[in-house]
Amino acid sequence: MQNFEYCTPRTLGETFDLLGENDCQCRVLAGGTDLIVQLRQGALSVDRVIDIKHLPECKQLICDPIEGLTLGATVPCHRIYEDKAIVDTYPGLIDSIAIIGGIQIQGRATVGGNLCNSSPSADSIPILIAYGATCEIVGAAENRRIPVENFCTGPGKNILEKGEILVAIHLPPVPKSSGAHYLRFIPRFEMDIAVVGAGAYVELDDEGRMFNKVRIGLAAVAPTPLYAREAGDLLKGREVSDESIDAAASSAQSIARPISDMRAPAEYRKHLVKVLTRRALWGAINRARGEFVPNAVQNNDQ
Amino acid sequence: MAATSNSENGNGNGKYKVIGTRPIRHDGLDKVTGRAVYGIDQNLPGMLYGQTLRSPHPHARIRSIDTTKAEALEGVRAVVTADDFSPAGDDEVISLVEGVFRLTHMRSNILAKDKVLYQGHSVAAVAATNIHIAEEALRLIEVDYEILPYVEDVHEAMREDAPLLHDDLTTEDFGEDTGTKSNIASHTQFKIGDLEKGFGESDVIIEHEFKTASVHQGYIESHNATAEWKTDGQLTVWTSTQGAFGVQKQTAGILGIPVSKVKVVPMEIGGGFGGKIPVYLAPQAALLSKKSGRPVKIIMTRADVFKSTGPTPATYVKVKIGADKTGKFLAAEANFAFAAGAFPGSPVWAGAMCVFSCYSFPNALVDGYDVVLNKPRSAAYRAPGATPVILATETIVDEIAEKLGVDPIEIRLLNAAQEGVRRVDGVVYPVIGCRETLEQAKAHEHYRTPLNGPNQGRGIATGFWVNAGLKSSATAHVNEDGTVNLVEGSTDIGGSRASIAMQFAEVLGLPAEAINPSVGDTSSVGYTELTGGSRVTFATGWAAYEAAQEVKRKMMAKAAMYWEAPEEEVRFEDGIFLHATDADKKLSFKELAGHLKDLGGAVVGSGTVDPDYGSGGSFTTCMADVEVDPDTGKVTILRFTMIQDAGTAIHPSYVEGQMQGGSVQGIGWALNEEYFYSEGRMQNASFLDYRIPTCFDVPMVDTVIVEVPHPGHPFGVRGVGEASIAPPPAAIAIAIYNAVGVRLRELPMRPDRVLAACLEKLAASH
Amino acid sequence: MGKKLYINTTINGEAVEFLCEPRQSLLEIFRDHLGMTGTKEGCNDGNCGACNVIIDGVLMNSCLIFAVEAQDRKIVTIEGLASPQGLHPLQQKFLEHASLQCGICTPGFLVAAKALLDQNPDPTEHEVRHWLAGNLCRCTGYDKIVRAVLDAANVAPNTETSLQSSN
């Protein structure tokens, strides 16, 4: 690995000073589970690594019934799923962050890092899209908030400008009669990168029979994670049924433009989009109806 | 015949005191506390760190290599290329257990000379004061390549117009050089009976083609070597290897120096499975040490382990079997080609021995081809050659059983190999345990337990591995406290210190804990062949048995000396030295050991053996229950049982461990593991994308140890290391068929392949 | 740029200080500078678990941590599992169950299993397998590892046993 300077700013101001220096290739370090691998492979070059784990803004983790969930960019996955309130309120998020790598990866890896790494197959992004989450981006000059679905611009690429960092992710509050679910397909049962990932968020009517609102996110089927807007919108006002769900799954499938690689052939990925969208929707519906849907943190054993 | 399930506590049927018990392994404490020193852990004063530059191209001519910039980098102490090899002996061969190899091929696999033959082929090596500088130096080496056309498929490589890898390679047919330049290195043929007659009399004939991808041994410790070449010409190598003497022979040959100048110290080894028999790094480290005057350690990166070290050959296998109405097999024919990688030497002979090994076939023909192509040189992997051919045979046996309406175990029992049956390669079986594993399967609760859901299926398959004998040595000396230090020559890769020490202890009536076993280096123990071929507990255990016999004789002589009695009046029973007539004269081993200091010289016993295995081999039968997700094609292993004939289980826990480990490797091979190539380059060279099973992918693996003692071994040991990997892919393929009605004939049976087969079947039924 | 930093940390209860370059991983510092080779390197990219350590109570891959990040942290490695009084119950159970063959993955499994039992003293088989999925073992097929962890969970905490034969 090439050598670099390591900095641990304690304030945002210090961070921007470090980031802003001319002719200095900077990389921001959160959990490091992607960054360190990429540096070791020589896939990235760097002069300075800025460890933002000591910034108070990046460490916050607040689950509030009115404000929703504030997820600091350097909060590791394990802190999220060890928080009972989040596990109960945002099980769809837990579905995804509890399957990123193994337990030892989850001890380090962050949702902020998952976003900024901007992999098309990132597990946390589809469900953040589905929840309607936003990114809080802070720069020396201005701050902005943008929807998660607009964050990634290509494999490994995103809208962060030089001098900007992602400070936090905000998930809106979830009303009663809502539910969310993420699942991915992998050949093994853990430890693989998603071949396809699908996250769904639904709001149902009080009887749990009609869709009021649906948002669907997809992973590993395009150069960026996708927001399947039409697939969700077409369910609005429709009855929960195999037929309506199939229509949404077909719509999601139609926007997928996967590639063939060592993880799976494109045609197979395309097939899976439909299967997983269907399953994600049913998982979300069941949760919205108050039924138990297991995940890696809450399973039938307990 | 005895059988021990892993739910029982094996006790070796009461015949033995130590054999069949489950003592804690002698090296266990060091390994659970992090104190054991593996090859990657070696540290020497002044040690440099080495790294290897590897080809990004599958096939290219090296026009030039410029190392000047790398040499100029601060901290770099040496850079070597193929030019640093002595040319002495370039026309010679090295004879190893796995075969005879040309020295030029072996050298060129260590550092490419004129051409690179695969992505990952090493080109140059660097030693520097730390690993990061060594890596930086690699980027400063400039290699001018002339890109050549490459070939990555075994059938394409066999074509006359295929790009040739070697200018000097001609096909060997039945051991005769044909003089034809080709990528086909050799053709092997075995034949018994009258094939035409056999098929002519058959009522059912089934023939299919099968393909398997290359898979890697996947040991968790990367290849490594530390070398110190002193100015007196003495080279010492510390490394993780399956055979220190093999490393000595290969390294000396490659460097063109006498074996007496090379001492190899086998460190603790983090897995091998056949992959740590060939030498990759020791000669590079040695050349770097010579040039720098410092000890040099090289640890291969995980990506390089995948790209550059022996996977199994990818295979193409065609098998045809004929049977009469009752299911009796009358004829069998196999034709297969193994992709050896860049240099010849894939286990075609072993595939030929194994393909029809589980049954009696009066008429059979096997043709096997060893083919070179632009991928890393293949290496042995647990029962090399067996798994792909057993997949073919067992799948077809299942189809015949289905077609005839015969129970899958009954058809196997009807044809099972047994004493006196002649195998296609000419071997006539002695007492073997094939039938017994099938009978245990039939009697097993697993076999009788119904499946309980849709899309579930069960598969049964039988497998075999030939097992080896070969040279082994052990030396023991008695301590005055009654314990014994036992130095043996086999790398302990999975508890063999214990299984060897237990055989030694059994002879002398001592507890296993009284033996202090250690693995010797090439200058401290007699010649011992590799840890492989399921031979260590069999052969090195036998050497320990012989050493114990010598210790026993010498201790009896010491007892006679102590009692001032003639030697013939001393007896040894149940661990006690007795006087033939004077009942008061009794000494335990420990008591006598305490007197040794007054009885002349030390008691040392040694044993060296070179047993002919006797071709008994080891048989396995396994049962797999699977569930297939019809929407995704993903296969879940619900239950798995492995049954194996161990001859005699010395330490049942480690016998079970071999069976369970082989089973799960077989499951990985069946479902997900593969070398995925695109444009001649491996795309999945990491543990992230080369998907070996995790513990979350598999259930507990039930085991049944069958004991049909090997008639040629003092304790009846057969060796159990390998045969468990042979049948799992076949059993899983059959289980998938029984679950969803599709036959898969290509490994891995990835979810997309299972789904495609299911969809094809669905389309055909409409 | 890239100057060496002086790091103060706590390893297995003892204050440790070392000088390192920012690019050096914690694993590299253990193995090449502190002589602590019990923590193994298997893949150096977070996919095998052989280098597991526990930092401030959290299980991590030491290959994916820069050593400079260890400032003021409390680290437990395989060398810290046993006490002078004897082995940790997990170590004892791994021996009794023959849970290791080559043993290279064993330190990583033991550290991971300790992290599990520290927070879930009575896990189910499913939970054990899920927790350990980030640790690869190529020898054992996992059966005896999982059994040992389940068995160790049954051993009351702080009743560390001494090494003896199960025979």
CA distance B181 to B164: 8
pLDDT attached to residue B11: 46
Report whether pLDDT(B616) > 80.
no
Looking at B77-91, B137-151, B626-640, B739-753, which range is the least confident one?
Answer: B77-91
Chain B residues near residue A264 by CB distance under 8 angstroms: 752
Token couple for B448: 């009788």
Is B632 within 8 Å of A275 when comparing Cβ atoms? yes
Residue B12 region by backbone torsions, left for phi larger than 0, else alpha for psi between -120 and 50, else beta: left
CB-CB neighbours of B573 under 10 Å: 9
Q: What pLDDT, on a 0 to 100 scale, did the predictor assign at position C1?
A: 57
pLDDT tens by residue, A122-140: 999 999 999 999 999 999 8
Residues from chain B contacting residue A2 (CB–CB below 8 Å): 132, 136
Cβ within 8 Å, pair B218-C138: yes
**For position C167, what pLDDT does the model report?**
33
**Whether A192 and B136 lie within 8 Å, measured CB to CB:** no
Q: What pLDDT, in 10s, does the model give residues B336-345?
A: 999 999 999 9
DSSP-derived letter for residue B725 is G
Quote the DSSP letter at residue C29. I
Pairing of strands A68-72, A164-171: antiparallel
Nearest alpha-carbon partner for B85 in B225, B255, B234: B255
pLDDT, tens digit (0-9, with 9 covering 90-100), for B307-331: 999 999 999 999 999 999 999 999 9
Q: Is A285 helix (H, G, I), strand (E, B) or coil?
A: helix
User: How confident is the model over B80-91, as a mean pLDDT?
Assistant: 90
Nearest CA-CA partner of A277 in A238, A230, A239, A237: A230
**Contacts with C, B 10-39, CB within 8 Å:** 21-25, 27-29, 31-38
**pLDDT digits 0-9 by tens, C31-41:** 999 999 999 99
Contacts of B128 in chain A (CB under 8 A): none
What digits encode the pLDDT tens for the residues C133-152?
A: 999 999 999 999 999 999 99
For residue A299, what pLDDT is reported?
81
Q: Tell me which of B132, B136, B632 to substitute to probe the interface with A (most A C-beta atoms closer than 10 Å).
A: B632
> Which residue among B689, B693, B696 sits closest to A262, beta carbon to beta carbon?
B689
Inter-chain touch A107–C64, beta carbons under 8 Å: no
Token pair recorded at residue C45: 């990219």
Interface of A with B in 27-86 (CB under 8 A): 42
Q: What chains are in contact with B, requiring at least 3 Cβ pairs below 8 Å?
A: A, C
pLDDT at B6: 63
Residues of chain C in contact with residue B701, where contact means CB-CB under 8 angstroms, are 141, 143
Stretch 124-163 of chain C: residues touching chain B, C-beta under 8 Å = 128-130, 132-147, 163
Any C CB within 8 A of B462 CB: no
DSSP single-letter state for residue B480: T
How many CB atoms are closer than 10 A to CB B473? 26
Per-residue pLDDT of chain A (302 residues; tens, 9 = 90+): 889 999 999 999 999 999 999 899 999 999 999 999 999 999 899 999 999 999 999 999 999 999 999 999 999 999 999 999 999 999 999 999 999 999 999 999 999 999 999 999 999 999 999 999 999 999 988 999 999 999 999 999 999 999 999 999 999 999 999 999 999 999 999 999 999 999 999 999 999 999 999 999 999 999 999 999 999 999 999 999 999 999 999 999 999 999 999 999 999 999 999 999 999 999 999 999 999 999 999 886 54
Cβ distance of C1 and A4 shorter than 8 Å = yes
**Is residue C158 over pLDDT 70?**
no
Instruction: Decide if A3 and C21 are in contact by the 8 Å CB cutoff.
Output: yes
Predicted pLDDT at A302: 46
Considering the domain A178-288, what is its CATH architecture?
2-Layer Sandwich (3.30)
- Average pLDDT (B530-536) is 93
The residue ranges of every structural domain in chain A are 178-288
Segment B249-273 shows an average pLDDT of: 97
Q: Does C67 have pLDDT greater than 80?
A: yes
CB spacing of A108 vs C61 below 8 angstroms: yes
The third-level CATH classification (topology) of the domain covering C89-154 is: DNA polymerase; domain 1 (1.10.150)
Q: If you count DSSP H runs as helices and E runs as strands, how many of each does chain A have, helices first?
A: 12, 14
pLDDT digits (tens, 9 = 90+) for B20-41: 999 999 999 999 999 999 999 9
Of A97, A145, A92, nearest to A122 by C-alpha is A97
At B356 the pLDDT is 98
Q: Side chain identity at C145, as an amino acid letter?
A: I
The nearest CA of chain B is from the CA of C89 a distance in Å of 11
The answer to whether residue C2 scores a pLDDT higher than 80 is no
Q: Cα torsion for C100, C101, C104, C110, to the nearest 10°? A: 0
A83 dihedral zone (left: phi>0; alpha: psi -120 to 50; beta): beta
The enclosing H or E element of B251 equals helix B244-255
| pLDDT at C165 (0 to 100) | 35
Taking a contact as any Cβ pair under 8 Å apart, which residues of chain C between 95 and 114 contact chain B? 95-98, 100-107, 110
- Tokens representing B285 are 């480290």
The pLDDT of residue C41 is 98
Q: Does C4 touch chain B (CB under 8 A)?
A: no
Q: Do B32 and C91 touch (CB under 8 A)?
A: yes
Q: Which of A188, A260, A277 to mutate: most B Cβ within 10 Å?
A: A188
Task: Please give the backbone phi and psi of residue A234, each rounded to the nearest 5 degrees, phi first.
Answer: -70, -15
Structure tokens given for A16: 């921007």
Q: Residue length, chain B?
A: 766
User: Predicted ipTM?
Assistant: 0.97
Cβ distance A193 to B135 less than 8 Å, yes or no, reads no
What's the CA gap between B702 and B708, in Å, rounded? 19
Are A104 and C127 in contact (CB < 8 Å)? Answer: no
What is the rounded CA–CA span in Å between residue B392 and residue B335? 11
> For chain C, which residues make up each domain, given as ranges?
5-79, 89-154
Nearest to C142 by CA among C107, C98, C111, C112: C98
Question: What local confidence, expressed as pLDDT, does residue B730 receive?
Answer: 98
Q: Which helix (H) or strand (E) holds B344?
A: none
For B158, what's the count of Cα atoms within 13 Å in the CB-facing half-sphere?
16
Q: Is the pLDDT of residue B146 over 50?
A: yes
What is residue A224's predicted lDDT score, i.e. its pLDDT?
98
Q: Which fold is adopted by the domain C5-79?
A: Ubiquitin-like (UB roll) (3.10.20)
Residue with tokens 């697939």: A231
Question: Closest chain B residue to C37 measured between Cα atoms?
Answer: B41
Contacts of B176 (CB under 8 A, 6+ apart): none
b vs e for B427-466, b when ≥16 Cβ sit within 10 Å of the residue's Cβ?
bebebbbbbbbbbbbbebebeeeebeeebbbbbbbbbbbb
Q: Which of B291, B242, B249, B278 is nearest to B79 (CA)?
A: B291
Q: Distance between CA C137 and CA C105 in Å, rounded?
A: 6
- Distance, in angstroms, between C122 CA and closest chain B CA? 18
Please say whether the beta carbons of B438 and B413 come within 8 A.
Answer: yes
In 3-state terms chain B splits into helix, strand, coil percentages (rounded to 5) of: 30, 30, 40
Cβ pair C102:B221 closer than 8 A: yes
Which residues, including other chains, have CB under 8 Å from residue A265's CB and lie 6 or more apart?
A: B752
Contacts of A190 in chain C (CB under 8 A): 130, 133-134
Letter string b/e over residues B636-645, b meaning 16 or more CB atoms within 10 A of that residue's CB: bbbbbbbbbb
pLDDT tens track for B198-250: 999 999 999 999 999 999 999 999 999 999 999 999 999 999 999 999 999 99
Q: B8 pLDDT exceeds 60? A: no
Distance CA B363, CA B427 (A): 14
What is the overall mean pLDDT for chain B? 96
Please indicate whether, in this complex, the C-beta atoms of A3 and B688 are within 8 angstroms of each other.
no
Which of B135, B678, B697 has its CB closest to that of A189? B697
Distance CA C111, CA C80 (A): 9
- Determine, for residues B694 and A189 on separate chains, whether the beta-carbon distance falls below 8 Å: yes
Judging contacts by C-beta atoms under 8 Å, the chain C residues touching residue A40 are 44-45
Element (H, E) at B621: strand B618-628
- HSE (side-chain half, CA atoms, 13 Å) at C101: 29
Q: What is the dihedral of CA B214, B217, B219, B222, to 10 degrees?
A: -60
pLDDT exceeds 90 at position B1 = no
- Work out how many CB contacts closer than 8 A connect A with B: 54
Mean pLDDT of B588-603: 95
Window 502-521 of B, Cβ < 8 Å to C:
511-513
Burial class for B367, CB neighbours closer than 10 Å (0-12, 13-18, 19+): middle
Contacts of the segment A82-89: beta carbons below 8 A, 24+ positions apart: A86/A61, A87/A297, A87/A298, A89/A63, A89/A65, A89/A174
For chain C, the chains sharing at least 3 beta-carbon pairs closer than 8 angstroms are A, B
Cα(A14)–Cα(B615) distance, rounded to whole angstroms? Answer: 74
The DSSP result for A125-164, as a single string, is: HHHHHHHT-EEEEEESS-EEEEEGGGTEEETTEESPPTTE
- Residue C163 is predicted with a pLDDT of 38
3-state secondary structure B254-271: HHCCCHHHEEEEECECCC
Please say if the pLDDT value at position B12 is more than 90. no
pLDDT score, position C161 = 41
Task: Pick the closest to residue B32 from C40, C107, C136 (CA basis).
Answer: C107
Q: DSSP labels for A26-37?
A: EEEESS-TTHHH
Tokens 């669905």, located at residue: B762
A105: which chain C residues are within 8 Å (Cβ-Cβ)? 46, 61, 64, 134
A271 touching chain C per CB within 8 A: no
Q: Which domains does chain B have, with CATH numbers?
A: 1-11+427-467+613-766 (3.30.365.10), 39-150+222-299 (3.90.1170.50), 469-609 (3.30.365.10)
Contact C135 B663 (CB under 8 A): no
What phi and psi, each to the nearest 5 degrees, are found at residue A113? -65, -40
